[in-house]
Amino acid sequence: MRKLLFIFAAFTFILFLSSCSSDKGLILFNSVPITQNNALHDQKVFKEGDKVYYLFIAPKKMNNDFIRVQVFKMTDKASFGGYEVVRTKDFRLMKDQRYYHTDYFTLYETGRYYLQVFSHDDFTRPLAFNDFYIK
């Protein structure tokens, strides 16, 4: 029951924020596991070694069984494009997760990072992306 309330609150928040753009999803970050009580407390700055919890909310129901979550770092030292891929992981979506996905990861280098989520049928256009910082 709590999951359903959480999902409903998250979708209400998305509809409020994305009234002008309905083709992009939303990614929220937090330093604690994301629940319905703290989902609207988006955090952008984390310390080295802290867990970075994220909540991806899809723009519409995902029909694909898998998504790819990718973290990359903006850097001047990268050999191509000004960014370096730090982490890529594929996740299988269960039936009750067709509108959202939540997980966490840990980073140990300071800098500006981006997280983006792709559907497995199109790796050229992310469903959502957002930036955060490790200080």
- Mean of the pLDDT values across residues 34-55? 93
Percent of the chain with pLDDT over 70: 81
19 band by pLDDT with thresholds 50, 70 and 90: very low
pLDDT exceeds 90 at position 18: no
Average pLDDT score over residue span 52-80: 89
Residue 17 has pLDDT above 70, yes or no: no
Q: Dihedral sign for Cα 72, 75, 78, 80, please.
A: positive
What average pLDDT does the segment 72-92 reach? Answer: 86
Q: 12: pLDDT confidence band, cut at 50, 70 and 90? A: low
List of domains in the chain = 2-134 (2.60.40.1930)
The per-residue pLDDT for 7 is 55
List Cα–Cα distances, 92 to 23, 38, 89, 100, 119, in angstroms. 22, 25, 10, 12, 11
Query: Has residue 26 got a pLDDT over 70?
Result: yes
Nearest to 17 by CA among 57, 54, 55, 50: 57
Helix, strand, or coil (residue 93): coil
